[in-house]
A = this chain, B = another copy of it.
């Protein structure tokens, strides 16, 4: 986290006022990477599949969240200390208790009465006062509450997920697109959860960005057109006590590990996206959630977990939510949310498979897995980001700020930007220092304009030096071919000579 802050990846929100737990801002470097991850998701999960992207309001009236169940059930177990008046997550306190830990007690997900009993059983103390002053366990609703307009009673919440906005707009979207199933609708946006005790940096934040897709289909056909092409590909799966092992997506469907082709296809897309952003296959796996850990309406939940310094972290959840959400909203709003499906000549309520990804958690995993420590050959810490999500594709340096080299560098900067590459001009410090700074934020290519570039008598005239981040080797490339070659390097993920 220290490196992340120093290198402009992250900034603790409201830092000059002493920061706010659970809130992080993205610095310039972090914002660039975050946007590239989001755009990759858009391209892979939406555009290439012919799906739609919408943007819905963050502030949501209570009626919507009553229908979704959030107003009643979206709560965490809370205890108050009668001494210091502080409030804590009951399940966390229990799991952090020495004796409970020894006995492997899992408190997460238990109802308040059972948590209260565990607090008594293990004599869990207030972590502040170190005394047995904890109250009975109650529920705390995790949504940020507010009020719309000047008249009290118009309760609303900061949305706890972007998905509800998609369900609300489903009727309008499908009507506009000819009322034909299947249809995919996605959204990238901010959500918030009023955590009792946020912790672990970006892993448990109070405000975060989600990338969610709802794929609406008629349940009589659970196939996916492009599934056959990828059925032989493999990923690592965990089920119950069985450790991660390779399973093909075809097998996963035929053995019931994954409920249908649709879900298996989206798992494949997620796995490939994670590989593309720099998570090694050996550090991640899908976990099939046990039946008692999934909602009653679910026909299957599979998480994608990544190993990090905080332990395994769920970064993506995919759920076959059946017709639960549309049925709930139809019931509560009194609107007909069914669709007449031409293929079956029937009015049906569409089923939904929902792949839901957290940007911030994935961003953190990328930072951890792309971090490279100092070595005898390289006296600075650096990041091995894949070029497609590096904060800049290239940094551009004039060797010196004179003799036309800076002007030429600016010219090349503009041409590369025009060609769709993200570039940044740097003229201060020695070239070695500039290489180091580029490495420190994971820029894959450094381009230097030197005397030879401009010297018409040199056999290197019209060429620049391109240095590759990972092996620090350099090649000379013609300015006229630079944009095309760099674009090709980015596409190929080339990071060494």
Q: Which residues of A contact B (CB under 8 A)?
A: 5-8, 11, 13-17, 20-28, 30-32, 34, 43, 47-48, 50, 52-61, 63-64, 78, 85-87, 140, 144-151, 158, 165, 168-169, 171-173, 176-178, 185, 190, 192, 194-196, 206-207, 329, 332-333, 335, 337, 414, 417, 420, 422, 424-425, 428
Contact = CB atoms under 8 A, between A and B. Distances in A.
A64 to B, nearest CB: 6
28 contacts: A8-B176, A11-B56, A13-B165, A14-B57, A14-B168, A15-B171, A16-B168, A17-B61, A17-B168, A20-B148, A23-B59, A25-B54, A25-B55, A25-B56, A25-B165, A27-B54, A27-B172, A27-B176, A28-B173, A47-B417, A50-B424, A58-B58, A78-B150, A140-B150, A146-B158, A147-B194, A178-B428, A420-B420
A16 B78 contact: no
B53 A32 contact: yes
A53 B35 CA distance: 11
A207 B26 contact: no
Contacts of A85: 151
Given A87-B151, A168-B14, A168-B15, A58 B146 contact: no
Nearest to A195: B149
A5 B304 CA distance: 37
Contacts of A20: 57, 61, 148
What number of copies of this chain does the assembly contain?
2
Nearest to A334: B16
Contacts of A178: 428
Given A8-B173, A173-B8, A48 B417 contact: yes
A57 B13 contact: yes
Given A56-B25, A145-B147, A149-B196, A14 B87 contact: no
A172 B11 contact: yes
B27 A86 contact: no
Contact of A146 (B146, B417, B425): B146
A207 B59 contact: yes
A146 to B, nearest CB: 4
A158 B59 contact: yes
A58 B190 contact: yes
A74 to B, nearest CB: 14
Given A149-B194, A337-B16, A53 B25 contact: no
A7 B176 contact: yes
Contacts of A329: 16
Q: Which 7 A-B pairs have the closest CB atoms?
A: A28-B52, A26-B55, A25-B56, A16-B333, A87-B150, A13-B57, A16-B335
A7 to B, nearest CB: 7
B207 A14 contact: no
Contacts of A151: 85-87
A123 to B, nearest CB: 23
B47 A192 contact: no
A377 B251 CA distance: 57
B16 A58 contact: no
A11 B54 contact: yes
B146 A145 contact: yes
